[in-house]
Amino acid sequence: MLLSLRSNVLRSSLNINSLCIALRLSSTCATRKFQPILHDITAELKQHQPKFSIPADGIRILSQPSEFYSTLLNMIRRAEERIFLSSLYIGSSENELITTLMNRLAEKQSLHLYLLLDLNRSTRPGPASTAAILLPLLRAFPDRVHVSLFRSPNLRGILAKIVPPRFNEGWGTWHAKIYGVDNDVIISGANLSRDYFTNRRDRYIRFTAQAHLSDYCFDFLQEITPFSYRLLPSEATTLPNNNTHRHSQICGDYALIWSDPETHPHRIGDKMQQALTTFQATNRQKFEEEEKAGRPCTSSSNVTLFPIIQAGKFRVREEEQFFQLLFGHLKKAAMRAYLPPVGSLPAGVSSIVQERPLMDLTSGYFSLYHPYQKLFLLHPQVEVRIVAASPKANGFYGSPGISGRIPEGYTFLEQKFMRAVRRTADRFSIFGSGQSNIDLSEWEKDGWTYHAKGLWLSPSADSSPVLTLFGSTNLNSRSADIDTELSFVMALPPSTASPTANDSVETLREQLAREVAVIREDVKPWKGDSRKVRWLTKLIVFLVGKKL
């Protein structure tokens, strides 16, 4: 009997192992079929964007806010030459973060700290503003702490004087989230505030010992500095009575010094556009020259990384170009393989339908930019799963005043989107099933809010992602037209190992699959259709919808 039991256990174990190998074989097969499409996407991206080739084992997907925070603190504690942090703001209660920066600067006399933040968000009135909590660092290390505050030029004239703090951020912010120390970088959508370190779901991708990528991120921030205000303690600042500092000002304990006396802060558009396009072109040319010289590593265990800048007000729209490119290639692939739209075949004729690509997309502030909506609606050959924040998981839920209506406003925008989805499904459905390729769910977890954003593209529903978009963009009108964003597209080559091996690329793909799975653990069916939206909220959305 004991021998029989052992035999059954062994047979079950073998069956499970066989099943895992079979699933991995199926995933590998789908990935290899998809590889020509991925090759075409990356080949065209390479013509327009800077490109980095990075070992897959130098990339790690962090999964929890606490892991992001502890990793960032440990990076700072080991800093040798430079710390460069870009965020919307630093939270008023981040004493441990400030103390950790202070201690490391005291320990390393050659260490420099560079901060690039949003001016409007960082100077909200009050004793605990971001600007105020940074003053001790500036006073202790005046020659080694460099704080730049970017202010969008969109808000100008009389409006700049009458729009109150907090609401002035609606005209544009500095939104890039880059956290670098020496040659290590974390790219995220999270800000440097307590909830982002504890109970606000986001994405965090860490790159270790990647000098070229780190230099790119550092140089990108330096490129913005001439269009920003420099933050200084007021006691260390004297503003002469001449035109040199006519755009600078002293605000209580701190001073805001405008960096370019030759250019009005409201008229930086042309210079900013030229700087960003030149910066991207220079970095793209740099890689091309290195590639010709045979210097970059193009190992099969390397992934390809493309930085994407979106700054609509400065006429830099690389994210939009990426989406057009991506769906263009997916459409070509569907035409070659003939993937009919979901619901277009009668019952019992599904066997001719090949495996479809799966796109997972998410945004904590889901109101897809209209050109993106059209791409999703007009490409039914791609399965799409969208995760949005439920009203309770929206960071503005329960806020006093008009901002408390923001979650309701997103419900209204989701309702409009889903009506468009259903209309499109009916149009594509030859046999009238009305089945859509787009599924919208909502994320909700007790005591948590939701801020994750980006997309993952998989060859099929049973395979792991081979491409992901991550960074600061929320994929909405605000990100496209108003804020300044930096995101990255990462493409993974097919695994060259056997189905039973664990090579670094396959491990990274599995990390991305787990990232999606962790998010979807707290997903529920979308309930927006059953929620009532008040007429005043609809009016507000009509007036300021692009600022959401």
Amino acid at 269: G
Nearest alpha-carbon partner for 322 in 394, 371, 272, 264:
371
Band of residue 293 on the pLDDT scale cut at 50, 70, 90:
confident
Band of residue 291 on the pLDDT scale cut at 50, 70, 90:
confident
pLDDT of residue 294: 66
What is the percent of the chain where pLDDT is above 90? Answer: 68
Q: Which of 62-66, 280-284, 384-388, 501-505 has the lowest mean pLDDT?
A: 501-505
pLDDT of residue 429: 62
Indicate which residues carry an active-site annotation: 175, 177, 182
pLDDT of residue 287: 85
Rounded distance, CA 511 to CA 500, Å? 17
Let me know: does 413 contact 548? Beta carbons within 8 Å: yes
Task: State mean pLDDT over 489-502.
Answer: 69
For residue 52, what is the enclosing H or E element?
A: strand 52-55
Residues in the chain: 548
**Rg of the Cα atoms in the chain:** 25
Helix (H, G, I), strand (E, B) or coil at 486: strand
CB-neighbour burial class of residue 40 (10 A; exposed 0-12, middle 13-18, buried 19+): middle
Task: State mean pLDDT over 230-238.
Answer: 86
Task: State mean pLDDT over 387-410.
Answer: 90
Task: State mean pLDDT over 151-166.
Answer: 77
Task: State mean pLDDT over 94-114.
Answer: 98
| Positive or negative torsion for Cα 285, 290, 292, 296 | negative
Band of residue 296 on the pLDDT scale cut at 50, 70, 90:
low
pLDDT of residue 242: 59
For tokens 């964007």, name the residue. 49
Residues 6+ apart with CB under 8 A from 180: 82, 83, 84, 85, 186, 214, 217, 218
pLDDT of residue 356: 86
What does the block give as tokens for 430? 């030859």
Rounded distance, CA 252 to CA 60, Å? 43
Task: State mean pLDDT over 108-121.
Answer: 97
pLDDT of residue 21: 46
pLDDT of residue 163: 75
The overall average pLDDT reported for the chain is 87
Please state, in angstroms and as integers, the Cα–Cα distance from residue 494 to each residue in 276, 497, 502, 544, following that order.
Answer: 33, 9, 13, 44
